[in-house]
Structure 1
Amino acid sequence: MLDAVSESKAPAGSQPTRSSAQTRRVAAIDIGTNSTHLLVASVDTTLGTFSIEQAEKSTTRLGERDPDSGELTPAGMQRGYETLRRFRDLAISHDVEQIVTAATSAVREAPNGREFLQSIQDGLGMDVDLVSGPEEARLIYLGVLSGMSFGDRPHLLLDIGGGSTELILADGRDARALTSTRVGAVRLQRDFVKDDPIPPQRRSFLQAFIQGSLEPAVDKVHRRIKPGEIPVLVATSGTAMAIGALAASEDDRPPLKLHGYRVSRQRLDRVVEKLVTMTPEQRRDLSPINDRRAEIIVPGALILQTTMQMLGVDELVLSERALREGLIVDWMLRHGLLEDRFSFQSSIRQRTVIHQVQRFAVNQRRAERVATHALSLYDATEGLMHQDDGQGRELLWAAAMLHACGQHINLSAYHKHSWYLIRHGELLGYSEAEHLMVAAIARYHRRSLPKKRHESWQALVTRDNRRRVSEMALLLRLAAALDRRPEPVVASLRVNTTPDVLDLVLVPERLNQNLSLEQWSLESCAEVVREASGVKLRVSVQG
């Protein structure tokens, strides 16, 4: 799977036909609160660039959830399902090699959101990833960065969605702050707007609510701005583009494209004042606004206006690129097709794991030793201990680095606490499914094998994911069994395999070093290895 998204391969018989060896086609689908978007991109592997071949949008309104239960409604799920069917078929008709798909706040928050995604997987064969708020913010950053030069100045990126608003402080090298707040155009319209036009008192309440909601995010980015820096505010999303189009209509010669168009705070205020006093019917008559946008643009405009005031900036720049382009960039990063200004982002998985290692006070040197042994076992036991296609290797490394993070809570049952900490921690660059697998691999590296009643096992919804966790956890169990002392005593492992035997030879750090403790520890894993894989484990020490 991809850094922050799942991938769905085209069915057999529809393999991509590329115009040249330098071109690869990929599709991205963004399942939002109000709309679902499709992009089909042509990736130039030589230049490390991409161009959009086709863009489609459908107003699926998943954010119109049941007012009592908060669940996605049957009508909304049906709209979403049919849209995804069309988008999948359209993407396949373009001979894309992969479809990367992500769902955001509406599905993320709904109690039946995962059931909806399971129905998509069962019915359409598409694995949809459920991205977290910070991960959504990171993808937005990648998307904006792909179409805008940041130069030497920091940028504040503002994306107003239907269910959440992302505010990011970033430069051309990395994102300094990723925030996601549960305030969006659809959410505010649904929860607070009963009369339209909005009465003055209700408008004041909405502005106060927006300000209170966004204060933690604004405070966070303010703290990360260095003295003397003047950030550039970049606004993206349907709300920002619609307001930008209204502002641009005042120009004598409106721009042909809104990407890069600048809107002053004074002009924004004029547009917002105009929108707030209009009825939905009057707003529908405005050419840049479609019927659905006319219903939700006022709450979205108030978010934009209030955020601009809170940040103390006098101008914003519009970006047509956002999360869906970020999905394309993320795919390119995972496939080694981008370097230069994206090179730092390509290590996001490693950096976020190390951050958690430090946060949970894990002994990093010992964790790295375990990870090294685990990867050696992975590489040497393909076909015997695992049938993995390569995706599990990174998950195994992450789990090995974090497997002991629960020790400071409870030493005897630390594997369970490690699962909880990893599961509820922040792993940027990992999909929701991958995040769950990392946590479960750490959970099952010791004590009992997985059981159906375990919450950590039930969270793994597909058979392939459970198989991968079982195989990687067994390798981690062996690697962790070697970690018996504070200082290293095992220099390396020599691995020999036959169809049903795993023969491990321990190579000591020093000649004639006593490794009886490590040998005993590994041999104690033999019964579990046999039960889980049918493989006989033999352990010896190099003489």
Structure 2
Amino acid sequence: MTNQSRTSLLQDPTISYDRTLAAIDVGTNSIHMVVVNIKPALPSFTVVAKEKATVRLGDRDPKTGYLTPAAMDRATQALRRCQQLADSLRVDDLVAVATSAVREAPNGRDFLQQIEEELGLTINLISGQEEARRIYLGVLSGVAFDNEPHAIVDIGGGSTELILGDGREPRFLSSTKVGAVRLSAKFVTTDPISDSEFNYLQAYVRGMLERPADDLRSHLQADEPCHLVGTSGTIEALATLHAREHTGAVPDPLHGYSFSLEDLHEIVDQLRQMEYSDRCALPGMNERRAEIILPGAIILQEAMTLLKIPTLSVCERALREGVVVDWMLHHGLIEDRLRFQSSIRERSVLQTVQKFRINLSSAECIAHHALSLFDQTQEILHDYGDEERELLWAAAMLHNCGHFVSHGSHHKHSYYLIRNTDLLGFTEVEIETIANIARYHRKSCPKRKHDNYRNISSKTYRRIVDQLSPLLRLAVALDRRQRGAIAKLELTPHLEKGTILLHLSPHDPGDDCALELWSLDNKKDCFEAEYALQLVPILDTASSSPSI
């Protein structure tokens, strides 16, 4: 695959007019939505409206870890309000992501399926690494890094992200299971907090953040200065407390406001002595935030201490704005200082190819064949577009990674490795889909009894596996000797006769491609069953075709 064709997977050049986009972040503590007007000509976006609801999805059943019916109902109602606001503003597109609470709950995917059925809203579940990457994008859209390293700390209800970047590629991304809601539910039973609980909570947070903080610092050169940026409701609430205490007024916006670790120590000392009612009485502190502000402050205190950065600046852009930027990148609307992020999916796949020592030339040949089959059957056998095409490309590039484990059942190993590798830029269901398409490049066709197939919560994505995995099987067969024997393929459908002809042009006119034809005959069953067509291969040796 050429660089030009790879780039085309990620870009939609047709978007040249202003768009209104809504981005929803379904978090552990709150559901946030931001509605923005995107101006591709600049490119930039301006915030049109915001919506927030504290739904506490993180208040899970302590015994089972399940999302509770009450929390799911609160979230459903909040999402319905978000939809209504988006509709009233006539948004052109709506993108929603879910993070820690839904990621970890055994019934999290069932909840997302329920939302899709009840509201018609698709929510993409993203990994911790992907969450960190999108937070980085959100901060980049609001902070001038000037090629200098910036550490970012984002404190959520269920997780804390530590990130390091200089405006180009992120140097370090991490997501750790320490969040304000999680810690409050797990460790805080006294009011005001007792010395023993406070000391234990502080030690626990330090222990959890020590490794990622050390890893982040290892990506800094000796004596390289580093700025610290903080995002999230917890950090904004702490900045508000600091501003009232030290200036008597809260700046609006808070973006760019700074305070020191020494100042934070004072705030923590004050908060630990307060009862819940006292915290509620603090100016600007709502009841929900008052419940979790102390654990959140401890997380920030330990993060700043471990990172050895004494001052923090507030950034009001975070995950939801990162979702907007990612959408713009994915549609080819950004070519300036964020251009290095625009091919994140492609580069993440290629890094995985290298990681598992996949034969790159063979993988590219098979991907070329698979995409050729996709393009020639589009609007004839399927109506998929660029996004599904990209999933097929990724599966084709990675389908053989299971050989890294062993040759036997390597298709199953491929599924496991892809499913458990951080493919940045993809959502959880997209990674699951890529892994399944790759898993079915050989042996049986997709079956409902297979656990990996059932792991795809969305019927839409299961259908993608059903229809695209047969194309990958054919592509794999066409490179059976891993030498690029087939230079070109051309499909001629005769739907009225129930057949489709597959014309094959070998690189070498004298090559009978017997092994490829034999492999094709053994691998075409899934294609024929899925599309109810007989596949008839025809080897054209009249002339050779140019190389791929």
* TM-score category (smaller protein): over 0.9
What is the DSSP-based 3-state SS (H/G/I as helix, E as strand, rest coil) of the residue aligned with 2:343?
helix
Counterpart residue type for residue 512 of structure 2: N
Offset at residue 271 of structure 1 (A): 1.7
Which string of whole-angstrom CA distances, capped at 9 and with x for unpartnered residues, describes residues 141-170 of structure 1? 111111111112111010001110000011
Which string of whole-angstrom CA distances, capped at 9 and with x for unpartnered residues, describes residues 356-412 of structure 1? 111112111111111011111111122344332332100000000010111233324
How many residue pairs were aligned? 524
Counterpart residue type for residue 502 of structure 1: I
Matched residues, percent identical?
Answer: 48
Q: What's the TM-score once normalised by structure 2's chain length?
A: 0.93
> Partner of 1:288 in structure 2?
284
Q: Is the 8 A contact 1:519 1:540 kept in 2?
A: no
Gaps of 5+ in 2: 1-14, 542-548
Check if 1:185 corresponds to 2:180: yes
Question: In 2, Cα distance between the equivalents of 1:24 and 1:488?
Answer: 43
Q: Is the 8 A contact 1:153 1:229 kept in 2?
A: no
Check if 1:274 corresponds to 2:270: yes
> Partner of 2:301 in structure 1?
305
Which string of whole-angstrom CA distances, capped at 9 and with x for unpartnered residues, describes residues 97-149 of structure 1? 11111111111111111121111111111111111111110111111111111
Question: In 2, Cα distance between the equivalents of 1:459 and 1:282?
Answer: 47
> Partner of 1:215 in structure 2?
210
> Partner of 1:418 in structure 2?
414
> Partner of 1:504 in structure 2?
502
Check if 1:116 corresponds to 2:114: no
Q: Per the alignment, do residues 194 and 528 of structure 1 end up closer, same or farther by CA in structure 2, a change over 3 Å counting?
A: closer
What is the DSSP-based 3-state SS (H/G/I as helix, E as strand, rest coil) of the residue aligned with 1:39?
strand
Question: In 2, Cα distance between the equivalents of 1:378 and 1:256?
Answer: 52
Question: In 1, Cα distance between the equivalents of 2:257 and 2:465?
Answer: 48
Question: In 1, Cα distance between the equivalents of 2:390 and 2:120?
Answer: 24
> Partner of 2:135 in structure 1?
140
> Partner of 1:462 in structure 2?
458
1:531 to 529, 532, 537: 529
Question: In 2, Cα distance between the equivalents of 1:71 and 1:416?
Answer: 29
Question: In 1, Cα distance between the equivalents of 2:248 and 2:187?
Answer: 37
Q: Per the alignment, do residues 49 and 487 of structure 1 end up closer, same or farther by CA in structure 2, a change over 3 Å counting?
A: same
Check if 1:366 corresponds to 2:362: yes
Offset at residue 343 of structure 1 (A): 1.1
Question: In 2, Cα distance between the equivalents of 1:294 and 1:525?
Answer: 61
Offset at residue 21 of structure 1 (A): 7.0
2:157 to 158, 162, 165: 162
Q: Is the 8 A contact 1:242 1:289 kept in 2?
A: yes
Offset at residue 177 of structure 1 (A): 0.9
> Partner of 1:14 in structure 2?
none
Which string of whole-angstrom CA distances, capped at 9 and with x for unpartnered residues, describes residues 439-480 of structure 1? 111111212111110112212233321221111101100100
What is the DSSP-based 3-state SS (H/G/I as helix, E as strand, rest coil) of the residue aligned with 1:263?
strand
Question: In 2, Cα distance between the equivalents of 1:526 and 1:162?
Answer: 49
> Partner of 1:49 in structure 2?
44
Q: Is the 8 A contact 1:398 1:438 kept in 2?
A: yes
Which string of whole-angstrom CA distances, capped at 9 and with x for unpartnered residues, describes residues 511-543 of structure 1? 323312212222333433222211221212222
What is the DSSP-based 3-state SS (H/G/I as helix, E as strand, rest coil) of the residue aligned with 2:487?
strand
> Partner of 1:517 in structure 2?
515
Pairing of 1:58-73 with structure 2 (within 5 A): 58-73=53-68
Check if 1:355 corresponds to 2:357: no
Q: Is the 8 A contact 2:109 2:457 kept in 1?
A: no
Question: In 2, Cα distance between the equivalents of 1:527 and 1:128?
Answer: 34
1:398 to 394, 401, 408: 394
What is the DSSP-based 3-state SS (H/G/I as helix, E as strand, rest coil) of the residue aligned with 1:344?
helix
Gaps of 5+ in 1: 1-19
Offset at residue 253 of structure 1 (A): 5.9
Counterpart residue type for residue 504 of structure 2: L
Q: Per the alignment, do residues 183 and 253 of structure 1 end up closer, same or farther by CA in structure 2, a change over 3 Å counting?
A: closer
Question: In 1, Cα distance between the equivalents of 2:530 and 2:264?
Answer: 63
Offset at residue 284 of structure 1 (A): 1.2
Pairing of 1:332-343 with structure 2 (within 5 A): 332-343=328-339
Question: In 1, Cα distance between the equivalents of 2:527 and 2:62?
Answer: 50
Q: Is the 8 A contact 2:43 2:334 kept in 1?
A: yes
Counterpart residue type for residue 505 of structure 1: H
What is the DSSP-based 3-state SS (H/G/I as helix, E as strand, rest coil) of the residue aligned with 2:383?
coil
Q: Spell out structure 1 runs of 4+ moving beyond 4 A.
A: none
What is the DSSP-based 3-state SS (H/G/I as helix, E as strand, rest coil) of the residue aligned with 1:202?
helix
